[in-house]
Amino acid sequence: MDLTNEQWDRIEALIPPPRRKPGGPGRPPRDPREVLNGILWVLRTGAPWKDMPDRYPSYQTCHRRFQHWTRQGAFEQILAALAKDLAERGGIDLTEGFVDGTFASAKKGGLPSERPSAAKAPRSWPLQTALVFLSPCTWPALRRTK
């Protein structure tokens, strides 16, 4: 699920301009919204960067911008703005948290984790967006926002 127009309007000003000299060599930079949607897809699904669908820019571009934005602190601001948007819509309560033990063994030597055999219902957009905040890739950025 890609960003809505309302979400994009809220965070567009937080995204730093791409690093490129005007008139310099190289390709023109990709649209930041497409890149951010690709980054959020990887964080939401937990898939490797190279498995990103073709509808997004190349995984190298998305990963490079993700690293750049994280180093600059912009990604932290983007996540905070998206969390605030989700909270205002009633999709997430930022005061609560949970620990998911689905894939943790019950005891030493326990059986390896297996996928549940029952079919899962489709996930809602609040859950999909919340998964971004639970992704280990976002922990360094979120660690500073207590």
Dump pLDDT digits (tens) for 13-57: 998 887 766 666 777 788 899 999 999 999 889 899 999 999 999
pLDDT at 124: 66
User: CA triplet 109, 111, 115: central angle to 5 degrees?
Assistant: 150
Helix H, strand E, coil C: the string for the chain is CCCCHHHHHHHHHHCCCCCCCCCCCCCCCCCHHHHHHHHHHHHHHCCCHHHCCCCCCCHHHHHHHHHHHHHHCHHHHHHHHHHHHHHHCCCCCCCCCCCCCCCCCCCCCCCCCCCCCCCCCCCCHHHHHHHHHHCHHHHHHHHCCC
Q: Return the number of other C-beta atoms located less than 10 Å from residue 36's C-beta.
A: 25
**Residue 14 near residue 74, CB atoms below 8 Å:** yes
Q: Please report, for the chain, the start and end positions of each structural domain, with discontinuous segments joined by +.
A: 1-15+28-94+124-146
Give the closest residue to 10 by CA, choosing from 129, 106, 138, 144.
129
Note the pLDDT tens digit of each residue in 48-80.
Answer: 999 999 999 999 999 999 999 999 889 888 888
More confident residue, 46 or 130: 46
DSSP characters over 86-106: HHHTTS--TT------TTS-S
pTM passes above 0.75: no
